[in-house]
Structure 1
Amino acid sequence: MKLEIVVLPVADVDRAKNFYKALGWREDADVTTGEDFRVVQLTPPGSGCSVIFGTGVTSAAPGSAQGLYLIVTDIEAARAELDDRGAEMSEVFHDSGGVFHHAGTRERVSGPDPDRTSYGSFASFSDPDGNGWFLQEITTRLPGR
């Protein structure tokens, strides 16, 4: 099985589309079949999984998707690129307890993981509706991944 699509709840479809396209995401579809249904699909560079959003796509509250991950091989370069493209990025951080970070900003330590351990460095941003994204630096995958 492969994860193919994640649904993002947004309030303004065009604003969301412009935001993600400005990040360099590929537009796969923008289909309207009536005034009550429109679906936009975009894919992050290098990803096999896309996001969709639109009108009549989900009943979830705009901005309620949290903990979405984009995996990168260089956290500082990816953070700088997204920042240049208009995302309001957090600083790079790592968790005081190790590989995965705590909810919210608790236990965040400024800067990348001191040993640059794979899975250990993060940055975050939100889209205009508040859907929350993390960048996670992975340079060596765990066995079986």
Structure 2
Amino acid sequence: MSTQVSNDKATSASNDTTIPFRLEVVVIPIADFDRAKAFYGSRLGWRVDAEADSGTGYRLMQVTPPGSNASVIFGTQVTAAPAGSSDGLLLTVDNVDTARDELVSRGVEVSEAFHDAAGTLGGGFHIGDEGRAAGPDPERRSYATYASFNDPEGNRWILQEITERLPGRV
């Protein structure tokens, strides 16, 4: 497997784009609102942006991870997706070890760092454990070291270490 990085105008950011498309919110499926609220708002310490309770079973919370422009929404009667079915939500971090230590200090069970066994840049993003090698990328390349954790509902988050952005990315 190989990963191709492109600098083509069609695939890189361009000032010619007339309509910006920005990822604002990701919806994650949960079954237990209070358990998710305690995890994201209290345990992780993510900023609570909004909370709504209609009194009829509809409950919603929007939280934002530190340093992120995108937020996460969860709640009851928010999505038809089964609870815990989000797999591979990606959080980028400057240093996987530091991020992992922070999460562990907050009581989150986090995998050890891993990388792609084939050594392809950015190729370590695997749904299962196959193709993974223990420890950080041997060359500590940007985009190549990961760790993962699950929320109490079973939604899986991936930490990806990015120390230097690819061309065309801010």
In which range does the TM-score fall when normalised by the shorter chain? over 0.9
Describe the superposition over 1:109-143 as per-residue Cα deviations: whole angstroms up to 9, x where unpaired. 11111111000000000000100100000010000
Residue in structure 2 matching 1:79, options 93, 100, 123: 100
Identity %: 57
1:100 lines up with 2:123 in the alignment: yes
What secondary structure does 1:17 align onto? Answer: helix
Q: What amino acid does structure 1 have at the position aligned with 2:31?
A: A
- 1:28 maps to 49
Q: Aligned to 2:101, what secondary structure does the other structure show?
A: helix
Aligned residues: 145
Runs of 4+ in 1 over 4 A off after TM superposition: none
Secondary structure at the aligned position of 1:67 is classed as: strand
Structure 2 residue aligned with 1:11, among 25, 31, 35? 31
Equivalent residue for 2:111, pick from 66, 72, 90: 90
Aligned equivalents of 2:37 and 2:94: distance in 1? 25
CA deviations on 1:47-102 (whole Å, 9 max, x unpaired) are: 01111011110111000011100100011000110111121100001011222223
Question: Aligned equivalents of 2:152 and 2:142: distance in 1?
Answer: 29
1:119 and 1:56 map into 2 onto residues whose CA distance is 35
SS at match of 1:123: strand
Paired with 1:53 and 1:20, the residues of 2 have a C-alpha distance of: 10
> Which residue of structure 1 aligns with residue 68 of structure 2?
47
Whole-angstrom CA distance in 2 between matches of 1:19 and 1:37: 19
Is 1:136 equivalent to 2:168 in the alignment?
A: no
Kindly state the Cα deviation for residue 36 of structure 1 after the two structures are TM-superposed.
Answer: 2.4
Q: Distance in 2 between matches of 1:24 and 1:100?
A: 30
Instruction: Give TM-score, length-normalised by structure 2.
Output: 0.83
Higher Cα Rg, which structure = 2
TM-score, scaled relative to structure 1? 0.96
Q: Which sits farther off after the overlay, 101-110 or 111-120? A: 101-110
Alignment RMSD (CA, Å): 0.9
- 1:103 shift after superposition: 2.7
One-letter code aligned to 1:133: W
Q: Tell whether 2:134 aligns with 1:110.
A: yes
* Higher strand fraction (1 or 2): 1
Unaligned runs of 5+ in 2: 1-20
